[in-house]
Structure 1
């Protein structure tokens, strides 16, 4: 199978399936990402960069506020570009979850 054929097959997948593939592939890269995990008792069980307490919704909200990827990598030096790719892929695959988390974390008591 050629790379072009694989590419066309990937385009036909659901966002969730694409996100899983991106996560799997970035884990195999030398600078591979850590993946996205949800751990009970860590950040309220929110989706986070694996092994960190950096929630995906936090990164998405920062991006929405105009913070660049370069700035995020500078602000969070223990993550890398592949981690951001995983976060964006997860957010694209779970937009309602991320939007709800942003709303919930911005509510004032």
Structure 2
């Protein structure tokens, strides 16, 4: 049975203050590492970071951008994408440079 928000909240309120602070810090770190607009699913794109609700991997967009494609060209080539999607992709690519380099190297012939 999956716990509800209310049951978790109630449980947290009954923790000692120090444990509440510790839990909050752990959750904050996890949320800070989250990537808005980016999704991961082992069953889609081999688990690579991708634009949410699409099958467009971030590494592909980053590879095209490194190759000189502009945001306008990418939006025209992928009509389902928005400018916000690209902004999310560029933020993810900047903060995960080594991952992007590996993915592009492994899949470079597909770009």
**Where on the TM-score scale, by shorter chain, does this alignment land: which range?**
0.5 to 0.7
Deviation, structure 1 residue 40: 1.0
Q: Which residue of 2 aligns with 1:58?
A: 60
TM-score relative to the length of structure 1: 0.67
Q: Which residue of 2 aligns with 1:106?
A: 108
The number of residues matched between the two structures is: 79
Give me the whole-angstrom Cα distance separating, in 2, the residues matched to 1:18 and 1:39: 17
Deviations 1:44-94 (A, max 9, x none): 100000010100000000001111100000011111000000000000111
Deviation, structure 1 residue 41: 1.2
4+ residue runs over 2 A deviation = 17-20
Deviation, structure 1 residue 19: 7.3
Give me the whole-angstrom Cα distance separating, in 2, the residues matched to 1:54 and 1:106: 14
Give me the whole-angstrom Cα distance separating, in 2, the residues matched to 1:106 and 1:73: 21
Give me the whole-angstrom Cα distance separating, in 2, the residues matched to 1:80 and 1:87: 11
Q: Which residue of 1 aligns with 2:27?
A: none
Larger Rg: 2
Alignment gaps of 5+ in structure 2: 1-31
Deviation, structure 1 residue 106: 2.4
Alignment gaps of 5+ in structure 1: 1-16, 24-34
For the residue of structure 1 that corresponds to 2:42, the secondary structure is: coil
